[in-house]
Amino acid sequence: MPRNILYVEDNQDAIAFFSRVVNKLGDYNFVTREDGTSAISLLEEKKDFTPEMILLDINLPGMNGFEILQYVRSKTAYKHVPVIMFTSSDDNGDVQKSYEYGANAYLIKPDSLQSLKEVLQDTFNFWLKHNVA
Amino acid sequence: MENTFTADLTNCDREPIHIPGFVQSHGFLLALTPGTFLINKASLNTKEFLDKDAQSLISQPLSTLEKNIVPAKAGSTLMDLIRLATITSNLEQINPQPVLVNGKEMLFVIHQYLDQIICEFEPMQSSDDTITLQKLMSTSLSVIQSSVTFDELLQHVSKLVKEITGYSRIMIYKFHKDQHGEVIAEANDEHLESWLHLHYPASDIPSQARELYKLNLVRIIADVNSTPSGLISSPENKKPLDLTHSVLRSVSPIHIEYLKNMEVGASFSISLISKGELWGLIACHNSTARFIDYNSRVACKFIGQLFSAALEFKYAEDAEEKSTNYRDKQQQLLEQLMKGDDPVKSLINSEVNLLDINTATGVVFFYEGKQYRLGEVPPETEVDDLIAWVRKHEHSNFFQTSTLPLQYPAAKKLSSVASGIMVTEISHEFSEYIIWFKPEMIKTVDWAGQQEKDTSVSEDGSLRISPRKSFAKWTQEVKFNSDEWSNNEIAAAIKLREDLIQVINKKAGEIRKLNELLKEAYDELDTFSFTISHDLRTPLSSIKNYTEIIMEDHGSQLDEEAKFLFGKVIIAADKMAGLIRDVLQYSRVGRAELATDPVDMKKMLAEIREELITPGKEKDVILEIKNTPDVCGDKTMILQLFTNLVNNAVKYSTLPTQIARVSVNGEVEDGFVTYTIEDNGIGIDMRYANRIFELFKRMDNVKKIEGTGVGLAIAKRIVEKHDGKIWLESRLNHGTKFYVSLPIK
């Protein structure tokens, strides 16, 4: 059974690289949303898709990644879903804020596909296992 | 003889000139005892007028003379006039009374002083010569009122006095502060040489004469060459007669001698009083004897009084006009200052400049380390020395003198331009001043005759000093004196200082404002570079990743050259990503709020070592960490600072033949923690040492080593953010020692 992953990202290139890498990693069912509002309405529906892990970009149109994170953590149903901040920002403040609001990990987007593959593999392995346990 | 005092120049200050014991012989005098009206004193020349010996009159009642002296007005007696005089308070209404003395017309003048009724009889001029008093007075009044300027007033008054007196030389004398006199206006017969601006020594008019001049406003010596007539007294009244208010009073023989030396035949003077002090005199000379009748003297006295009143008014007006002129110029100067942004241009190179607000002949403006010079001024180095002297000797912000060379001997050689200076300090800190200069006034003192006392040996062999005989113009070399700085000049200089400081402060305020704007722009630039770098990362990452996909998915379709070129794209993208990362860090330091916490340096340096010396590299690098005092600051930034410096030390230590030796050591001293990071690397050319902290600046000898040229710029920025210092010592191919000094909070 494929694992459900939600990835909120507005950059189409980033989504393209992500899907390319993830598709090679194994049996993952990932859904992407381009902004906070559509991501939240997906989560509200609760019917077809329940994510087992959420990846959030920080700089998004409308709501930013932190706001989505806060929403996720405020909902009982998603309280324990691993949330990974997935961003190109290496700003200390962003890192601190992420953990403060309840992110499980802070992942800086690597700039090569190989690194991306490695990083995502490690992350998935760790956090999806963790969730199951 | 009543008076045995012998006067000469050594004692003329003490000569009792109010009791000379003589009267001038053109008239005669009788003194009466009040109440009894007995004659107690008479001038010895009564016989000439009354045909009676003076001796025969003494102790006689005045009525003895009733037949000899008859009032011109019919029906009254001499006694009637005297009785009237003793009860009236205003003698001006009585004096003078025309009388017939043994049939000859004379004027009778009476006054009472110190328990004596003094009756004087003087000649009456023929009616042709006599102008009515009323006419004289109205003429005088209109002349004085019509004078617009002070100079005009002087001219009009001297001409008027000349007309009334008919004397050949009329001079208006002004007394200077030191009591010496100067001729400031004259009206002369054409053949006479001008004495205008001649100066007379103070001793020419002794102080008690000045006092008398204040009481007795007009005095005549009708005939310098006539012999004065002595006074005879009754046995009961030997006390010398006080002639302070007498019209016939004889003057000091020494004064007569003085006039004779001047070849004067008759002398008349009118006192000019200002604010209760003798301001000057209108001195009138005639080469021959010349009497001026009572009415003309009264008219002259009136002119003197009018002039005195005008003096206070007009002179004040004149000073006011000058100061208004200076004030206008000052106002203009201030406007120039406000309008322009360069005080030098406004004060020196403009229509109105620093020389227009006073009588100075030169000025130097010290501003921003330079001298700006106008008019007659000493050489630049001399002015520097002078300012150094002023700074040392004057502790207030204003200084003025009119005798500079006497106080500052180095100015003796500059006396022709700098005998007087006025200095106003704009800024002590920046040594900014305005100095005005005035020349020595050597040329301006023309004495009437040499001031040294002439001496002659008298018959008994004793040395006697007599009034000088020569009145030829003599210029005295008054050394090292300039004209004095007037109150107006001083006030203008002080006011200008205030204005200038205000303008400079305003400019400073503008600079502060610009500074704020600059800071804002700087912050904006940081935000800009941060944002743009951040935004560049995503597309750059796309470039790289798509290139990777091309290589991965379509590599088999590419020839070797295409693969090689795509490889270059990836390398370039990586390099650019590195640059972006560094620029981001650099701008982040600028934007960051500074946290100041104690930083555990021992721990931090250990972490840096761990990062740096990865397994397998131990043999290439020896990193020695010595003293590690804690510092205060933003932990992230301090980490970055030391990471950059230590990494650099290791990176540029790579001389091919040797092991990189890097040592880090901290010392605490004078409120600063100073760390040194020393390496044995390739070194930095110290000629460019100041440039290595610039953004993107890399030295020629490191071109082959990877780097973006941002690391040291970030380091410097972090240090400056912490109010610290960073500097270095280096020798090419020997090594570099970086110093970082941070304040202990």
- Which residue in B537, B574, B636 is closest to A88 by CB distance? B537
Same domain, B160 and B299: yes
B157 is a domain residue: yes
d(CA B537, CA B73): 129
Whether the CB of A96 is below 8 Å from some CB of chain B: the reply is: no
- What is the pLDDT, as a whole number, of residue B364? 95
d(CA B229, CA A120): 140
Average predicted confidence (pLDDT) for chain B: 83
Q: Which residues does B67 contact at the CB level (< 8 Å), separation at least 6?
A: none
Q: Which residues of A touch B546 (CB under 8 A)?
A: 13
Same domain, B729 and B620: yes
- What is the pLDDT, as a whole number, of residue B461? 46
Whether the CB of A119 is below 8 Å from some CB of chain B: the reply is: no
Same domain, B112 and B32: yes
How is domain A3-132 classified at the architecture level of CATH? Answer: 3-Layer(aba) Sandwich (3.40)
Average predicted confidence (pLDDT) for chain A: 88
Same domain, B717 and B737: yes
Q: Kindly report the backbone phi and psi dihedral angles of residue B497, in degrees, each rounded to the nearest multiple of 5, phi listed first.
A: -60, -45
- What is the pLDDT, as a whole number, of residue A48? 74
Chain B residue with CA closest to A13: the answer is B542
d(CA B48, CA B27): 9
**Average pLDDT, 10 consecutive residues per value, chain B (745 residues):** 53 72 91 89 91 89 87 82 80 81 89 89 71 76 80 88 91 83 89 84 81 88 91 86 89 84 90 87 92 87 86 68 76 83 85 89 92 94 93 87 91 90 89 92 58 49 52 63 83 85 81 84 80 83 92 90 92 88 82 81 91 74 90 89 90 72 90 91 82 78 75 89 89 88 85
- What is the pLDDT, as a whole number, of residue B471? 60
Same domain, B275 and B157: yes
- Which residue in B534, B548, B581 is closest to A112 by CB distance? B548
B13 is a domain residue: no
Q: Which residues of B touch A92 (CB under 8 A)?
A: 636
- Which residue in A13, A20, A116 is closest to B542 by CB distance? A13
Interface contact flag, B574 A92, Cβ < 8 Å: no
- What is the pLDDT, as a whole number, of residue B5? 56
Question: Mean pLDDT across the stretch A13-30?
Answer: 90
Same domain, B188 and B41: no
Interface contact flag, A13 B534, Cβ < 8 Å: no
Same domain, B70 and B139: no
B288 is a domain residue: yes
- What is the pLDDT, as a whole number, of residue B655? 63
Whether the CB of A131 is below 8 Å from some CB of chain B: the reply is: no
d(CA B490, CA B488): 5
B703 is a domain residue: yes
Domain extent at residue B145: 133-318
Chain B residue with CA closest to A21: the answer is B549
pLDDT at A133 over 90: no
What the block records as the tokens of B103 is 């049939």
CATH number for position B186: 3.30.450.40
B128 is a domain residue: no
- What is the pLDDT, as a whole number, of residue A99? 93
- Which residue in A14, A109, A113 is closest to B549 by CB distance? A113
d(CA B72, CA B637): 120
d(CA B533, CA B714): 16
Q: Kindly report the backbone phi and psi dihedral angles of residue B253, in degrees, each rounded to the nearest multiple of 5, phi listed first.
A: -60, -30
* Cβ atoms B396, B494 nearer than 8 A: no
Interface contact flag, B541 A92, Cβ < 8 Å: no
Q: Quote the ipTM score.
A: 0.83
B324 is a domain residue: no
Residue ending a domain, among B584, B614, B644, is: B584
Q: Kindly report the backbone phi and psi dihedral angles of residue A4, in degrees, each rounded to the nearest multiple of 5, phi listed first.
A: -85, 125
Å from B607 to nearest chain A CA?
Answer: 18
Interface contact flag, B545 A109, Cβ < 8 Å: no
B500 is a domain residue: no
- What is the pLDDT, as a whole number, of residue B681? 85
- Which residue in B545, B588, B636 is closest to A17 by CB distance? B545
Q: Which residues of A touch B581 (CB under 8 A)?
A: 90
Residue ending a domain, among B123, B147, B176, is: B123
Same domain, B422 and B559: no
Chain B residue with CA closest to A15: the answer is B542
Angle at A67 between CA A66 and CA A72, to 5 degrees: 95
DSSP-derived 3-state class of residue B496: helix
What the block records as the tokens of B724 is 């610290």
Å from B599 to nearest chain A CA?
Answer: 17
Whether the CB of A88 is below 8 Å from some CB of chain B: the reply is: yes
Whether the CB of A64 is below 8 Å from some CB of chain B: the reply is: no
Same domain, B154 and B54: no
Same domain, B140 and B267: yes
- Which residue in B534, B545, B581 is closest to A113 by CB distance? B545
Residue ending a domain, among B80, B100, B123, is: B123
Whether the CB of A91 is below 8 Å from some CB of chain B: the reply is: yes
- The number of distinct structural domains making up chain B is 5
- What is the pLDDT, as a whole number, of residue B463? 44
d(CA B669, CA B656): 37
CATH number for position B428: 3.30.450.270
Q: Which residues does A129 contact at the CB level (< 8 Å), separation at least 6?
A: none
Same domain, B174 and B308: yes
Same domain, B254 and B281: yes
Instruction: State the DSSP code for B358.
Output: S
Whether the CB of A111 is below 8 Å from some CB of chain B: the reply is: yes
Interface contact flag, A91 B588, Cβ < 8 Å: yes
Q: Which residues of A touch B549 (CB under 8 A)?
A: 20, 113
User: Which of A12, A64, A111 has the highest number of chain B CBs within 10 A, making it the mutation to test binding with B?
Assistant: A111
